[in-house]
């Protein structure tokens, strides 16, 4: 049977529409729009593109976008002062500090300053802990989007074998917790895993987020597996190309012959992240106003 190509763009469009409705209701009730502040330190080109897209999507959903672009050499105290100012700002419901930060900054210390009630990335110690404890939490956008896609596709995930490849704070770790909460048997694989093909052989669900192009080969996948590819890797340009292609962590063309369903790159997992960010912002806005 031909593999289903999961349409992340369509999924995101539906979610954005729902968020837009909630944003309009919020604005009417609160007398102000829900607000998302995005902080970008430095000039990383990929981060600049993300931040611009986030700003546009926020406005399109009927929310207020606050953008802060700081120079690459911003001192720690200045960034912390900005986060504290945003924590105190009644018009800001969500705060996202774009990662990675320049190397001289202490990322964990900055994250710990974010008010957990405004932490739309779900990366503060409070929200990460609440997720592990099964308490109500704001949860990182990309893994939450993956969970929504999986539930939309197959409903009940109970008892399925899931392998998460990658252990970042924004993706792999929260992804594993979300799958555990859905009663999957979860294995976390990462760069030191000894035999990845062997680990993947049992996986009904594979979620990949390691940032290595085409790492996961088609014949490593269990026939009928569902694959969510969170990798966003730019290849070197081929002759005649100005920029290299964006590809995922899974050898997509090979995988098509093995899997039940797979997200393409681009247009899969990545396409949903901003929609979930808007969702988290409106959830935070209602709670903070409430
Ligand atoms: N960098 C790439 N994706 C993300 C994200 O979802 N949140 C933050 N804070 N930084 C990112």
> Ligand 1, atom 2: nearest CA belongs to which residue?
99
- Per-residue DSSP letters for 133-166? TT------HHHHHHHHHHHHHHS--TT-EEEEE-
Confidence check on the interface: ipTM exceeds 0.90, yes or no: yes
- Domain co-membership, 146 together with 262: yes
Q: Quick check: CB of 272 below 6 Å from ligand 1?
A: no
107 and 145 fall within a common domain: no
Q: Are residues 81 and 151 in the same domain?
A: no
Query: What does the pLDDT read at residue 46?
Result: 87
Residues 48 and 152 reside in one and the same domain: no
**Residue 16 included in any domain:** no
Q: Is residue 242 part of a domain?
A: yes
Kindly list the catalytic residues. 54, 98, 121
How confident is the model at residue 218, as a pLDDT?
Answer: 97
Does residue 78 lie within any of the structural domains?
yes
**Predicted TM-score (pTM) above 0.90:** yes
DSSP-derived 3-state class of residue 206: strand
User: Which residues span the domain enclosing 47?
Assistant: 31-115
Token pair belonging to 6? 């999961």
194 in any annotated domain: yes
Q: 151 and 110, same structural domain?
A: no
Is residue 258 situated within a structural domain?
Answer: yes
Q: Is the distance from CB of 145 to CB of 229 less than 8 angstroms?
A: no
The pLDDT tens digits of the residues spanning 104-125 come to 999 999 999 999 999 999 999 9
Mean pLDDT split into 10-residue runs, the chain, 290 residues: 94 98 98 98 92 96 98 98 98 97 98 98 98 97 98 98 98 98 98 97 97 97 98 94 95 97 97 97 94
Ligand 1 pocket mutation pick from 98, 275, 281 by most atoms within 8 angstroms of CB: 98
């Amino acid at each position: 049977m031909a593999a289903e190509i999961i349409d992340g763009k369509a999924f995101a469009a539906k979610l954005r529409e729902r968020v837009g409705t909630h944003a309009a209701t919020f604005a009417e009730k609160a007398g102000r729009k829900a607000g998302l502040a995005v902080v970008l330190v430095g000039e990383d080109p990929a981060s600049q593109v993300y931040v611009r897209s986030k700003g546009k999507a926020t406005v399109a959903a009927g929310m207020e976008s606050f953008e802060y672009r700081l120079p690459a050499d911003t001192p720690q105290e200045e960034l912390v002062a900005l986060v504290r100012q945003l924590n105190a700002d009644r018009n800001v419901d969500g705060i996202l500090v774009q990662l990675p930060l320049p190397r001289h900054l202490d990322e964990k210390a900055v994250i710990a300053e974010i008010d957990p009630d405004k932490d739309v990335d779900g990366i503060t110690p409070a929200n990460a802990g609440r997720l592990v404890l099964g308490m109500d939490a704001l949860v990182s956008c990309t893994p939450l989007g993956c969970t929504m896609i999986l539930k939309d596709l197959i409903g009940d995930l109970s008892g399925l074998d899931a392998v998460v490849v990658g252990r970042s704070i924004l993706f792999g770790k929260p992804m594993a917790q979300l799958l555990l909460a859905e009663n999957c048997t979860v294995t976390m694989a990462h760069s030191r895993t000894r035999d990845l093909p062997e680990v993947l052989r049992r996986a009904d669900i594979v979620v990949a987020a390691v940032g290595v192009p085409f790492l996961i080969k088609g014949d490593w996948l269990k026939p009928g597996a569902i694959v969510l590819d969170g990798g966003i890797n730019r290849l070197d340009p081929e002759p005649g190309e100005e920029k290299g292609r964006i590809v995922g962590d899974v050898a997509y063309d090979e995988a098509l012959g093995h899997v039940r369903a797979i997200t393409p790159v681009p247009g899969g997992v990545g396409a949903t992240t901003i929609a979930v960010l808007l969702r988290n912002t409106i959830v935070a806005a209602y709670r903070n106003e409430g």
